[in-house]
Chains A and B, each alone.
Chain A
Amino acid sequence: MPTRTDAQTGPAAGEDPSVLDSECARLVSEFRRGNLDGFDRLVALTEPRVRRLIGRLVLSRPDVDDLVQETYLRAWKSLGGFRGESRFSTWLFRIAVNVTRSWQRARPAALPLPGDDGLASRTAPGLAEGSLIDAYEQALAGLAPDLRTTFVLHEAEGLSYQEVADAVGCPIGTVMSRLHRARQQILAGLRDRLEELTP
């Protein structure tokens, strides 16, 4: 029976979460001491992850830039109140989730059109299963926003149950149930393709 490995958890390859978090903590402390220029470095360190998270949540590339901008504007305003009880990335993800929620509430539900840029598949280098990831994206787009947020934060961004609960603002039990339901729905959409891949 396969077990959890380090390669399956945490953020995407190329980023060491511990180093990133320690550097962010140092910059935050400098910022709180009055070195406001440290925020530029914070943005440079965290912007790829925030952008990726928001893109996975909204599935609409034209809106990602605005939401990232809004996330950092809110972070700039409230960074003075960051007490360091959680990781900076988790705190920032919570802002991004709230910004995305506001955007989803204000935006009427729209069905994606074929060939829509927001749903065009962008596979990672080395992953040649274009049709599979298209189906995955379709299944992800069919999830309710709360389920999608929980699933993306845990599965794609590698946050623990507690971190997801902190970011979303709900109990851990809710995180577990949402994650289970999200997995069920996505696997139901990918059942046929997955049967071909797995023995």
Chain B
Amino acid sequence: MNESQRLRLERDFDGELPAAERDGLRRELADDPEASRHLNHLAVLRTLARAHDPAGRPSVAGPMVVAFRPARRRFLRLAVPAAAAASLALALTVPWGRQAARNPAPPRVASPPPAAVVVRPVRPLSLPRTPLEIELIRLANAPARGPERAARAVLSRKGSSQRRPASREILALELANGSPRAAVTLPKAAVSPGASAPGPIRRPLTPHRPTAPSGPRA
């Protein structure tokens, strides 16, 4: 079997050889063992080609679904995602609202404004006051002296009635820092006759930053 006969034999095997050539070829190769073997090989090759299916194994992700839809109008293309986003937002908001109704949040407390004056925590003043304290308050309320000078006077004064120097320091700091707890009213009994009753300390004191340690608190 030559090359030309082989080509025509393959065309005959494919069913593409004209009938006129086919009969002549079959007569020529009727007793050719090589032609018969080649036809057998072609048949096996076709069987292999049909059986070979690399994509036949099912995919891990399952069969692919190609869904084609006609093009939608522009407003639909815009409205559908917007509606989906709104639904999602609503779905996320409603459970929060329900939970908030069941467990109302504590009222918000406004944070205090940043203090311009450093206010040290001090011991609140209490009544009855010592004579020194009464004198201090009287001095603080005197318009001519002022609280700072009063505080200095208290600190520099060494009265026998004040047993604990730390108490004087603390009182002076309260006055200097303008603590609301220092806005007290002197008891009437402590006011000397003839003098006008001192009112509460309302004027804010100038900032005072103690440099010395305040000492032990009583």
- Residues of A bordering B, CB below 8 Å: 1-4, 8-9, 12, 36-37, 39-40, 43, 47, 51-52, 54-56, 59-61, 64-65, 68-69, 72, 76, 118-124, 127, 132-133, 136-137, 140, 151-152, 154-156, 160-161, 176, 179-180, 183, 186-187, 190, 194, 197-199
Q: Do B29 and A1 touch across chains, with their CB atoms under 8 A apart?
A: yes
* Given A64-B55, A160-B16, residue A198 in contact with residue B10 (CB < 8 A): no
Min Cβ gap A57→B in Å is: 9
Q: Report the contact-size class of chain B (Cβ under 8 Å from the partner).
A: 35 or more
* Given A36-B68, A68-B64, residue A180 in contact with residue B7 (CB < 8 A): yes
Q: Do B43 and A8 touch across chains, with their CB atoms under 8 A apart?
A: yes
* Given A1-B36, A2-B39, A198-B40, residue A187 in contact with residue B45 (CB < 8 A): yes
Q: Which residues of A contact B10 (CB under 8 A)?
A: 179-180, 183
CA distance A56 to B50 in the complex (A): 10
Chain A interface mostly: helix
Q: Mark B55-66, 1 if CB is under 8 A from A, else 0.
A: 111010000101
Q: Does B96 contact A (CB under 8 A)?
A: no
Which of A4, A69, A199 sits near B15, CB closer than 8 Å?
A4
Q: Do B64 and A132 touch across chains, with their CB atoms under 8 A apart?
A: no
Task: Pick the most buried of B26, B35, B52: most chain A CB atoms within 10 A of its CB.
Answer: B52
Q: Do B49 and A151 touch across chains, with their CB atoms under 8 A apart?
A: yes
Q: Do B66 and A54 touch across chains, with their CB atoms under 8 A apart?
A: no
Q: Which residues of B contact A161 (CB under 8 A)?
A: 14, 16
CA distance A52 to B35 in the complex (A): 32
Q: Which of B57-100 contact A (CB under 8 A)?
A: 57, 59, 64, 66-70
Q: Do B39 and A194 touch across chains, with their CB atoms under 8 A apart?
A: no
Min Cβ gap B109→A in Å is: 60
Task: Pick the most buried of B50, B55, B66: most chain A CB atoms within 10 A of its CB.
Answer: B55
Q: Which residues of B contact A64 (CB under 8 A)?
A: 54-55
Min Cβ gap B37→A in Å is: 6
Min Cβ gap B123→A in Å is: 80
Which of A1, A69, A156, A197 sits near B66, CB closer than 8 Å?
A69
Q: Which residues of B contact A61 (CB under 8 A)?
A: 54-55, 57
Min Cβ gap A46→B in Å is: 11
Q: Do B55 and A55 touch across chains, with their CB atoms under 8 A apart?
A: yes
Q: Which residue of A lies closest to B35 (CB)?
A: A1
Q: Which residues of B contact A12 (CB under 8 A)?
A: 50, 53
Min Cβ gap B42→A in Å is: 7
* Given A40-B67, A43-B66, residue A156 in contact with residue B43 (CB < 8 A): no
Beyond contacts A118-B54, A122-B52, A156-B49: 17 other A-B pairs, Cβ-Cβ < 8 A, are A1-B36, A2-B39, A2-B40, A4-B15, A40-B66, A40-B67, A40-B68, A47-B64, A51-B55, A68-B64, A122-B57, A124-B52, A127-B47, A140-B52, A156-B50, A160-B16, A198-B44
Min Cβ gap A58→B in Å is: 8
Q: Do A152 and B49 touch across chains, with their CB atoms under 8 A apart?
A: yes
Can you give 15 A-B contacts (C-beta < 8 A)?
A1-B26, A1-B30, A2-B43, A36-B69, A40-B68, A121-B52, A123-B51, A127-B47, A132-B48, A133-B51, A133-B52, A155-B50, A161-B14, A176-B16, A186-B45
Q: Do A176 and B53 touch across chains, with their CB atoms under 8 A apart?
A: no
Min Cβ gap A187→B in Å is: 6
Q: Do B41 and A136 touch across chains, with their CB atoms under 8 A apart?
A: no
Q: Mark B9-40, 1 if CB is under 8 A from A, else 0.
A: 01111111000000000100110000111011
